[in-house]
Amino acid sequence: MRKVLSLLLLPLAVMAGLSSAYAQDPVGGTYVQSLDELSNQKAYTIDCARGAFLTKNGYLASTAHSSLKDADPAKFAILSYENNYYLYSVADDKFVKNNGELSDRLTNGTEEALKMDPKTNPYFLFYFTINGANYGLNTNGDDPYGYVINSWMTADGGNQYRIAEAGDFDPTNALAELEYYFHQAPTVTYVVKDNKDNIIFTSNPITVELGTTITSLPEKYQRPYYSYNTVNVTISEKETVIGFTATWEGPFEISDDFASAHWYALAMRGTWYVTSAKTANDGAYQTQNANVLGLVEESYHWAFMGNGYDGFQILNKAAGEGMSFGYTNDNKKDQGIPTLLDDNEGNHAWNIAPSRSTIANSFTLNISGTNLYINQYGGAGGSMKFWNSANNVTDAGSAFSVMEVPTDFAEYVNSEIAPYFDAAYFGLNDEARAAVGYDDSYKTTCSFDEYKRLTEAIAEVITDKSNFVYPETGYYRIKSAQYPGRYMSYAEINGAPMIATVVNPEESAANIIKLTALGDYKYLVSVGGLYATSPSASVKVALETESVEFTAVVNGPGKGTFTTGAQYGALHCAASSSPAYYVVGWTDAADASQWIIEDVEAASVDVTIGETGYATLNALWPVTIPEGVKAYTGKIDSKDGALELFLTEVNSTIPSATPVVLKGNADTYTFNFTDDVETLDNDLKGTYAETDAAGKYILAKPERKYIGFYLAETGTIVAGKAYLELPANAGEVKGITLVGDNATGIASVENTTTENNAVFNLAGQRVSEAQKGIFIINGKKVLK
C-alpha cells in the first residue's frame, strides 16, 4: 500500500555578505559551496556556529540546546523536485514541515518548499514562505528543541548554516511520495454558497487519500456567525468538488444593495452611537449619547453588505450610495483614522468577529490578517481610530453592537413617557396629561411624529413641579428605585432607632412610613412616632422625637427624592451586605436617593387572640381598639416583698410604639391606624423586628401553669409584640402570672418554675381555684 508523505516545502535562501568561515572543522565531509553541488542521492549534516541539526520527539532539533549539546548530528536529504527543495530526515524517513514538525504525509498548508539562497560560501540562510511572508529557520538555545521559526531574517551566527556531505541516500521512496502528492493523490475542492445560492468561497484543491469520508467543512474554512450543513461524501475520484451552504446567524441582517438596505443604529460600548459626523480636532468619526429621537437621523444609520469571507462593506445612509466605511494604506496604522470613502478608492472590506468583552452581543471590526481594530478613544464624542493590539478582542472600546432603527415608537412610549402618567405619585397629573395630549393608545402604536410631539410636550410640562402628583398626609410604603423590593423601615441598631430598608414589606407595620405634608412640597418622614433626622454624608439616619423638614423633588417618572437641600441631605438607600440596607445621607441625584411611593392597601394591623383570651401588641402607629378587646399598659412594682405587674386599661386609642397586653375572646381583630395621641407611662417593652427572647419575660402558658410573663432561656419574639424586662434587684423571678391564653408570636419558652400551682386567698386559706380578686399562686399575687 502506498505511503503518502505529507511534507513541508521550505525554500532555502542564501544571503550575500555573510561572515567569514567557521573556525571548527566540518561535522561531515566536504561543505557544499553552491546549490549546484546538491544531489538527491546524498545525505547531509547541517550546522551553524550555535549547533548542528538533529531530530527529537518528532521535531527538528539542534545541539544548541543544553540538553542536546552532546548529541550526534543527524543526516538530512535536501530533495530537489520541480525546482523546489524539501528537507527530509533520513533516520526518521519523514519530511520537515514549516513549523519544524516531522511528517510522513503532505497536507494543504504544509507543502511550502524550503528556500535555500547561497551567498558567501559555504553559508546558507534557510527559510519558509508562509502565507506570503518569509520566516527564518534560526538556531536558538532557549527553545526546548534548540531552534525557532520566526520573522528574524538578518544573517548571524544562529542562522548561517553549512551543509556537509555525510554519505549516500536512496531518494526513490521520498521522490515517489512527492510525485504522488503533487500529481496522483486525489483532491477535494470546497465550495461555500450563501442562502441565496451565491458562491462566497472556493478553496484550493486539497489532497486527501482515496476512501476518505468528508462530513463537514474543515474548520479553517469556516467563518464567525455562520452555521453550515453536513454532507457524507466518500472520495473515490481524482478530483472532487463538495458544496456547503453557509447560513448567516450574525447580529445584523446582510443587505443586498443601498436601495433595499436594512439600517441599524451602530453602538459603541453598548451606549454611545456612531455618527457620520466628524470630530473637530482630528476628523475622525465620533460617538454620541444619542437619544431615540436622535437615532432617527440618517447620520446614525448604518447597513452591512458582503459576507464573512470577502469582508463586509459598511454603508452610511447620510453619506449616500457609492460611499462606505473604509481606509487607505496611509491610515492603515495604529491610531490611523478609518473614514467614509468612495467605493472606488481605498479598502472597504471589514472582518467581523464576536467580541469577548462584557458587552452583550457585541462584535469587532478589523482588517483581516492584522491586529488593527477600530477602537473608540475616550468617552462620548471620542474618535474612532485604529488600535493595533490583540487586546481589542476583549476591550470594551472595540465592542460594537447594533439596534434596529425604530419605525413604531410604542416601545419607547411605554418605557419613557407612560411611566409619567402611570405612577401613583411623582407622576404627572390630569392637567398635565391633557396638556401633553397623551392617552394609553400610544402604548400600542405610535408614529415618530407623535412620539416626537409627546417627548417635546413632556419636556415642557416637567419643568413645572406643580404638574406632578405628590402624596398627601398619610401612611405609605416607600420603595427604593435602585434596589428592587427594598422598602424604608423602622430598625434598631445597638438599641438606637434608625431608618433602614428591608424586603417583604407586608410582613410588618414597621415598613409603613408616615408622610406629613406641610405644604410647598415639604414633608415630615416618620415611623413609630419618631422622625427621620437630618442626613449627612454616608451616616445612618436616626429616628428621633424632633422633626426635620424634607423637600420632595421629582427626579424621573414615578421617582422622587426627599432632601433637606444640603449637599448630602437626601435620604439614600446604601448598598450593604446587612439584612437591612441602612438609609444614609447622600446627593439628591444619585440613583439610590430615588424612591417610589406606594399606597398602603390597609392602614391597620391584625392580631389574633387565642382561646384563653390574651395576646400582646406593639403597634408602630396609633391604632383604635376594636370592639370586644381591652388593652392594658403595665407597670412593675414591689409590694409586700413581691413583684407585681399593675395593668392599666387604655381608652379607645393605643398611642404609637406603645406595647400592650390585649384581652378578648378568641378571634382575629383589626386595629386601624388613627391620629396621634399622647404617650402613656408603661414598663412593657416592644419588638420592632424579630428579637432574641433569652433573658426576657414573654407572654406564654407553660404546661399546667397559668398564662403570664415567664422568663425565656431560648427562642425568638416576632416583630410587633410586647415583653417584660424586670429590674436588676428582682432576684430569680421565674414568672408573673395572668389568667388566660398563650400569646401569639412566641417561638419557644423554657419553663423554669417548679411550684405546684397551689392557690390561696389573701387570708392564707387554700381554695380550689381563683375566682375574682387577688390570689396567691405559687407564692405570688395574681389579679383575677
Q: Nearest to residue 618, comparing CAs of 649, 646, 647, 656?
A: 656
Q: Hey, CA dihedral for 696, 699, 701, 707, is it positive or negative?
A: positive
pLDDT confidence of 190, banded at 50, 70, 90?
very high
| Whole-angstrom distance, CA of residue 62 vs CA of residue 274 | 54
pLDDT confidence of 748, banded at 50, 70, 90?
very low
Determine contact, residues 22/195, Cβ cutoff 8 Å: no
The pLDDT of 94-99, averaged and rounded, is: 90
pLDDT of residue 420: 96
Q: Nearest to residue 734, comparing CAs of 774, 693, 784, 780?
A: 780
The pLDDT of 590-617, averaged and rounded, is: 90
| Whole-angstrom distance, CA of residue 268 vs CA of residue 274 | 7
One-letter amino acid for residue 555 of the chain: N
| Whole-angstrom distance, CA of residue 474 vs CA of residue 454 | 33
Residues in Cβ contact with 531 at an 8 Å cutoff, skipping those fewer than 6 apart: 524, 525, 543, 544, 545, 546, 547, 548
pLDDT of residue 578: 56
Determine contact, residues 481/496, Cβ cutoff 8 Å: no
pLDDT confidence of 191, banded at 50, 70, 90?
very high
Determine contact, residues 100/114, Cβ cutoff 8 Å: no
**57-61, 685-689, 752-756: range with lowest mean pLDDT:** 752-756
One-letter amino acid for residue 260 of the chain: S
pLDDT of residue 731: 65
- Higher pLDDT: 105 or 778? It is 105
* C-alpha Rg value of the chain to the nearest Å: 44
Show the cell assigned to 24: 571548527
pLDDT of residue 435: 95
Q: Is the pLDDT of residue 566 over 80?
A: yes
- Mean of pLDDT over the chain: 85
Chain centre distance of CA 113: 49
Q: Determine if the pTM surpasses 0.75.
A: no
Q: Across-strand partners of 137?
A: 149
pLDDT of residue 152: 87
Determine contact, residues 376/272, Cβ cutoff 8 Å: yes
Determine contact, residues 609/662, Cβ cutoff 8 Å: yes
Instruction: Considering only the C-alpha atoms of the chain, give the largest distance between any 2 of them, rounded to a whole number of Å.
Output: 139
The pLDDT of 94-107, averaged and rounded, is: 83
* 3 state SS of 391: helix
The pLDDT of 24-50, averaged and rounded, is: 83
pLDDT of residue 103: 86
pLDDT confidence of 333, banded at 50, 70, 90?
very high
- Higher pLDDT: 117 or 129? It is 129
**Cα end-to-end span (Å), the chain:** 113
**C-alpha distance from residue 460 to each of 368, 467, 475, 539 (Å):** 50, 10, 32, 37
Burial class (CB in 10 A: 0-12, 13-18, 19+), 387: buried
The pLDDT of 56-68, averaged and rounded, is: 95
pLDDT of residue 661: 94
- Higher pLDDT: 53 or 127? It is 53
The pLDDT of 213-230, averaged and rounded, is: 96
pLDDT confidence of 746, banded at 50, 70, 90?
very low
pLDDT confidence of 18, banded at 50, 70, 90?
very low
Q: DSSP string spanning 135-167? A: EEEEE-TTSTTSEEEES--S--TTT-BEEEEEE
One-letter amino acid for residue 713 of the chain: E
Q: Is the pLDDT of residue 780 over 60?
A: no
CA angle 96, 101, 103 (to 5 degrees): 65
* 3 state SS of 291: coil
Q: Across-strand partners of 96?
A: 102
pLDDT of residue 20: 33
pLDDT of residue 635: 87
pLDDT of residue 771: 56
pLDDT of residue 294: 78
Phi-psi region of 747 (alpha: psi -120 to 50; beta: other; left: phi over 0): alpha
What are the respective helix, strand and coil percentages of the chain, to the nearest 5? 10, 40, 50
Determine contact, residues 275/252, Cβ cutoff 8 Å: no
Q: Nearest to residue 479, comparing CAs of 471, 470, 488?
A: 488
Determine contact, residues 236/211, Cβ cutoff 8 Å: yes
One-letter amino acid for residue 62 of the chain: S
pLDDT of residue 64: 95
pLDDT of residue 9: 38
- Higher pLDDT: 167 or 184? It is 167
pLDDT of residue 297: 86
Phi-psi region of 675 (alpha: psi -120 to 50; beta: other; left: phi over 0): beta
pLDDT of residue 782: 56
pLDDT of residue 729: 67
Residues in Cβ contact with 411 at an 8 Å cutoff, skipping those fewer than 6 apart: none
Phi-psi region of 719 (alpha: psi -120 to 50; beta: other; left: phi over 0): beta
pLDDT of residue 28: 47
| Whole-angstrom distance, CA of residue 50 vs CA of residue 163 | 14
pLDDT of residue 777: 53
Q: Nearest to residue 259, comparing CAs of 337, 309, 315, 313?
A: 315
**33-42, 644-653, 695-704, 750-759: range with lowest mean pLDDT:** 750-759
pLDDT confidence of 426, banded at 50, 70, 90?
very high
CB atoms within 10 A of CB 205: 15
Q: Is the pLDDT of residue 19 over 60?
A: no
Q: Across-strand partners of 664?
A: 629
CB atoms within 10 A of CB 469: 18
The pLDDT of 182-201, averaged and rounded, is: 93
Show the cell assigned to 673: 391606624
Strands 114-118 and 11-12: parallel
User: Among residues of the chain, what percentage have pLDDT more than 70?
Assistant: 87
- Higher pLDDT: 632 or 381? It is 632
Strands 239-248 and 187-193: parallel
Residues in Cβ contact with 728 at an 8 Å cutoff, skipping those fewer than 6 apart: none
| Whole-angstrom distance, CA of residue 47 vs CA of residue 137 | 12
**42-56, 124-138, 503-517: range with lowest mean pLDDT:** 503-517
- Higher pLDDT: 502 or 461? It is 461
Residues in Cβ contact with 142 at an 8 Å cutoff, skipping those fewer than 6 apart: none
Q: Is the pLDDT of residue 108 over 70?
A: no
